[in-house]
Structure 1
């Protein structure tokens, strides 16, 4: 089976993760928006809401929106915030995004230059698409991607099966013709493999114990072009044959 699409994780795969905003940063931005009244107690309220929301999201593989977290924190502390959505871009413009790794960017450009693969960015992130695209532009790789699948946009996080279904739709090819590449074994290798995609894990310390032999392993994203070349010559190197196909 030919590989026709590549789905790529972001943090710790293509980039060094950046910080997430805390309640103090969110408070500063909110106070600059018209019509808001936000007491100092918002800081603790937001940090509390964010912590328990993320815990719940990890259990359910969901992604609660940033605006919803702001709304819930406002209810806790009595803040008046007419438009929580308006804080989204200003907050994430104030907090640095992930820094794209040069070697990884160069490898992605090599892959894209071949012109035979659809490329989709597929990651869990709070940052809106506009901010993430700006980061990709600054790194010179925005044109490498045909689509972005972000957890904050679809309300689901890896390893929810519907996240991979959204990736499949974005790629526009059958799941067995997609290679999913990332650094987290459960989310970027095992789950997409069980969904029916091919998978390559970025693992600097080598193959984790218990990882299926049918999942490829590389030490750095920069190794991916050579890995794909070897797989094209000897497909079992990548997948060991067709991966299991999940029921539709």
Structure 2
């Protein structure tokens, strides 16, 4: 009987073979003379460049063996895989792509979208809800978390007295985010970064965790007090992939839109 693990191993092997056969050997410094029987790189060329044995690599492409994250990372580097290809390779191997390079790649491809929302505060978060980037509208409305140093949004909301005074009611924003974070934490128990953030949050938010409430989709309202103004936003979380979240805060009335526009252009 074919198991899910068997299926993933076969898919991983087929994926490696497809990538290997579609690369140009000249791009990898391989000098070719005459016609090669194998399109792209040969197995022995990939194995040697990745520091693994030819027999082991052959078995990997045949879906006969499971391998470590380190080997998959080496193969991804050897084959110069793009971000999405590397993430797919790791997922087929049963690993979560959660390193700094992954975060940087998310910011790079989402930055144009953030900057196209001049009146809508928005943040890019990773799976741990660390703040990776934000736009000018966010900086105009929110004093923290800062857009540098990659602070954690949940930890900041749970500990900031300034934000506590700005938010009406102060717990709603944090609670809605926590419900969605709980979904991620339950689905990725092997992600050490997620579990580390959870341990940091648990002392203050244990009552929320114990009730096991979750929410994955849907928007919620938030009111922010700033400079004597009551700003109203509708918040939503977008998930362009399984490791990245975009927090969008759309102005809910004309007064809020005008205020954000004035502050963003100041």
Q: Answer yes or no: same fold by TM over 0.5.
A: no
TM category (shorter chain) comes to under 0.3
Of the two structures, which has the highest relative contact order with CA contacts closer than 8 Å and spacing of 6 or more? 1
Decide which structure has the larger Cα Rg and report it. 2
Q: With structure 1 as the length reference, what TM-score do the two structures score?
A: 0.28
Higher helix share: 2
